[in-house]
Amino acid sequence: MRVHLGSDHAGLELKEHLLTWLRDNGHEPVDHGPFVYDPVDDYPVFCIRAAEGVAGDPGSIGIVIGGSGNGEQMAANKVKGVRAALVWNADIAVLAREHNDANVISVGGRMHSVDDMTHFVDLFIRTPFSGDERHARRIAMVADYESTQKPPPLPESAQGLGPDA
């Protein structure tokens, strides 16, 4: 599987580890940077490029890495067609794929051990989307909003309630 990677200075060491791990496990990593340590680099420069790589390469996945993974996930999610999940444990790695068909995993290089984060990435890569109708329906709603900027219609049970009333 082709895997697009991007990070910032806080994720550089983990990114370098994952490039090797991915190759050793039969994957094709694509490194979108950074390529040298720069303590003042900006994660959007590299994470958006990695996310664009995923969006333009059907069947691929992405990994974005920073200190916490929060900003990196937010940047990746600005790319149309990307569903980036901030992963902090094994259950979230699996659920992000099974329920949300996430195509980018975001991890915090300062949050867990290299072994733990490698395990999260491995689970993410190996877990397929469940294809359950309810999950596919929800993903379609988000994709539709992404294209139209119109929120999904309220369910009948909510008609006349809340701020849309």
Catalytic positions:
72, 99
Helices 114-126 & 90-98 angle (0-180, nearest 10): 20
Residue of 35, 37, 51 lying closest to 9 (CA atoms)? 37
Q: Beta strands 84-86 and 61-66: pairing type?
A: unpaired
Cα separation, 162 vs 137, whole angstroms = 23
Burial 71-103 (b: 16+ CB within 10 A, else e): bbbbbbbebeebbbbbbbeeebbbbbbbbbbbb
DSSP-derived letter for residue 39 is T
Cβ atoms within 10 A of the Cβ of 130, count? 15
Angstrom distance (rounded) from CA 76 to CA 34: 15
